[in-house]
Amino acid sequence: MSYPDLDVGLTEEDIAARDMVRRFGMEVMRPIGIRLDKLADPQQVIDADSELWDVHRTYRELGLHSRRLPGTGGAGLSPLGGIAINEELGYADSGLAISIAVAGAPFAYAAASRDDELRGWAKAYAEDTKAEMIGCWAITEPDHGSDWILAGEPSSSNPAMAPQLKAVKKGKEYILTGQKSAWVSNGTIATHASLHVSLDPDQGMHGTAVCILPLDLPGISKGKPLDKHGQRALNQGEIFFEEVVIPEKYMVVPDIERTNVMLGYNTWAGANTGMSVTFAGCAKSALDEAIDYAKQRVQGGVPIVEHQNIKLKLMHMLQMVEAARSLSRRTMLYNMANPPGSLSHAVAAKALSTETAFNVASEAVQIHGGNGLSKEYVIEKIMRDARASMIEDGTNEALLLRGAAFL
């Protein structure tokens, strides 16, 4: 890369952390992600001797995995510094970046708890450098995915929209029955989960609460890891619950009204800005691959970067990438400083970054020509990984329609 990186406003600590993560990304994440992507069986990705665990362990040795937990001080980074790190992770491998991010989801709830046991989970996670504690955010179900963004809306109170995973209170315990679908990131490797459950099915999706729990309790089982087109290094799979008993303290957000605010606005604003930053990094990676290849590939006696058509393509790609980076950064900074943030901007940023990542990667494949279709070059993997992003965490179409309600 020869063009300047417009990383202005970073502190010295931010720059040091960003550069450290950049090295980790390109020396550890990128090569391992490529090798995991080529494994025929998704079970191999998560086997005990898989390199997946090297990624998680090495990242934790950097001391950054707990930076999002309440009370940790963000590892001494500014808000912009944290965003720059997330970009770098998405640049290296977007699927592994998502796995790293959601691994801390239940422990963020635990860290905010007043209960000693739950706070102990967060402390153990923060100190875990062996990747023995992996979290997941289990929200999607066989009949519920993008429609979760409707939570809190009057239409979501239809009983037909009630989540499949039910929680029935008995004394000082809850009994969980149901399932989460195959699209739960880290689903079959997670040791702990944050779950969205139905407390009152008569209120449909409106009757939802949030609990966290270890996934080794009696009655919990997991399906096979999902075999996918893209983001093959990201483990995803089903989780089943059959009369699973949990103490009431695990129901960390039992207030239905509060849950609907979290689901309908706070959670989606946070999740979508996170996705936007990750895939802004992915888009930049695709651009850089195209530039590097264009400088090396010779046609007509000169590197193709000298051809006018390629110059125009690359400049249009640069425009798209920097627009996505700008919107994702501004939105995340605003939402962090002004909770609950702007859902409209969050979904706009997610849609822009993910579509940019896919479109720029597609153009990069075109610039590579036939080589862009070969697995000898990483660009075809980046394009497949980016394609998945326009569906996960809510399809872009559904998200944009929901965001329009707040204009």
Convert the pLDDT of each residue in 170-194 to its tens digit: 999 999 999 999 999 999 999 999 9
Answer for the pair 206, 119: CB distance below 8 angstroms, yes or no: no
CA gap 53, 46 in Å, rounded = 8
d(CA 46, CA 59): 17
pLDDT of residue 263: 66
- Residue 76's pLDDT band, with cuts at 50, 70 and 90, is confident
Max CA-CA distance within the chain? 79
Phi, psi of 4, deg, nearest 5: -70, 150
Q: List, by residue range, all CATH 1.20.140.10 domains of the chain.
A: 259-404
pLDDT at residue 308 greater than cutoff 70: yes
- What's the pLDDT at 265? 67
Q: What percent of the chain has pLDDT over 90?
A: 82
For position 22, what pLDDT does the model report?
Answer: 98
Neighbours of 54 (CB within 10 A): 14
At 23-48, the pLDDT tens digits run 999 999 999 999 999 999 999 999 99
Chain region(s) in the chain for CATH 1.10.540: 12-127
d(CA 85, CA 83): 5
Q: Pick the residue with more confidence: 404 or 266?
A: 404
- Packing angle, helices 268-296 and 308-337, rounded to 10: 160
Supply the pLDDT for residue 155: 79
Confidence bin at 72 (pLDDT 50/70/90): low
CATH no., domain 259-404: 1.20.140.10
The DSSP code for 327 is H
Q: pLDDT value at position 134?
A: 98
Confidence of residue 303 (pLDDT cuts 50, 70, 90): very high
Percentage of the residues of the chain whose pLDDT score is greater than 70? 96
Of the listed ranges 88-97, 251-260, 270-279, the one predicted with least confidence = 251-260
Q: Can you tell me the mean pLDDT for 110-129?
A: 95
**162 neighbors 199 (Cβ within 8 angstroms):** no
The CATH class of 135-255 is mainly beta
Distance CA 123, CA 112 (A): 11
Please state the pTM of the whole predicted model: 0.96
Tell me whether residue 164 is exposed, middle or buried, using C-beta atoms within 10 angstroms of its C-beta: 0 to 12, 13 to 18, 19 or more. middle
Asked if residue 215 has pLDDT above 90, the reply is yes
Indicate if the pLDDT at residue 113 is higher than 60. yes
Residue 74, pLDDT score: 60
CATH code of the region 12-127: 1.10.540
Q: What is the mean pLDDT of the chain?
A: 94
Q: Is the pLDDT of residue 80 over 70?
A: yes
Q: Kindly report, as residue ranges, where domains of CATH 2.40.110.10 are found in the chain.
A: 135-255
**Residue 118 CB: number of other CB atoms within 10 A?**
21
